[in-house]
């Protein structure tokens, strides 16, 4: 969506600032698109990107394809980190040229690169931000409005975002007295059941067997599916009720046995 918005404004005189520090967005930087770091109050444009990393916006995506992204489960080339990847792209200009001359890269780095050619090309496709989303008339209704909508104050008040309400009061002091009162807090009636004994598992499994549709979520020790271990599983088949099955927990806490109870769930 963000990439499509950036592409949409290219023919216009609009200057775009992407409020994010996510490196994936660096590939979108152009004469009309920059990144804004709100925490440090800094702007990253094409010139500062080149000065900081020695890369053009297009080259940043090539570097990410070599390095990978653990958060997005995209493996990189073993032994090639951000600095080595940047040096390779700087030398060869782009990823295509690097792969065409990968035989020139010496040592273990070259061997790993040649062995990872297919994975690198796949990573490049995953990292490239698509800009062909149909936005319709989204930009025509996305302009800044002179005053906050009453609905915004109502939502902020109901959610208890007092800091944001104070900021609005500072920007529009004349409308401060129109701020709605926060909605009264209600106590959640949701029922969450911890299934960590044989007896509880039997009761849970009996109810589970009756269901035609079930929502399932897993908790693991990491994001890599080949290395992560199962911590627990959550099940729900009706609003306001859920079951949690722990397979790993802090020392001394009851858990279910993976080799005994997990096969039953399959």
Q: Which residue has the higher pLDDT, 49 or 15?
A: 49
For 147-166, how does the pLDDT look when each residue is reduced to its tens digit (9 = 90+)? Answer: 556 777 788 888 888 888 87
**pLDDT of amino acid 176:** 55
The residue ranking higher by pLDDT, 227 or 151, is: 227
pTM: 0.55
Tokens of 84: 């080595």
């Amino acid at each position: 969506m963000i990439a499509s918005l950036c592409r949409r404004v290219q023919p216009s005189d609009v200057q775009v600032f992407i409020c994010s520090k996510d490196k994936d967005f660096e590939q979108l930087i152009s004469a009309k698109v920059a990144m804004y770091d709100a925490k440090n109050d800094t702007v990253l444009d094409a010139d500062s990107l080149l000065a900081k990393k020695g890369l053009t916006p297009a080259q940043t995506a090539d570097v990410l394809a070599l390095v990978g992204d653990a958060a997005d489960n995209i493996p990189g080339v073993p032994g090639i980190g951000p600095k080595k990847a940047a040096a390779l792209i700087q030398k060869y200009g782009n990823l295509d040229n690097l792969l065409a001359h990968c035989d020139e890269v010496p040592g273990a780095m070259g061997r790993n690169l040649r062995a990872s050619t297919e994975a690198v090309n796949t990573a490049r496709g995953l990292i490239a931000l698509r800009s062909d989303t149909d936005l319709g008339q989204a930009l025509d209704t996305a302009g800044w409005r002179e005053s906050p909508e009453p609905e915004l104050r109502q939502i902020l008040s109901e959610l208890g975002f007092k800091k944001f309400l104070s900021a609005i009061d500072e920007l529009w002091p004349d409308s401060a007295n129109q701020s709605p009162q926060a909605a009264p807090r209600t106590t959640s009636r949701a029922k969450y059941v911890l299934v960590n004994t044989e007896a509880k598992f039997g009761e849970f499994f009996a109810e589970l067997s009756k269901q035609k549709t079930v929502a399932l979520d897993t908790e693991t020790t990491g994001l890599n599916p080949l290395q992560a271990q199962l911590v627990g599983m959550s099940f729900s088949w009706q609003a306001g009720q859920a079951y949690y099955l722990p397979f790993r927990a802090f020392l001394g806490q009851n858990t279910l046995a993976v080799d005994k109870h997990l096969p039953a769930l399959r």
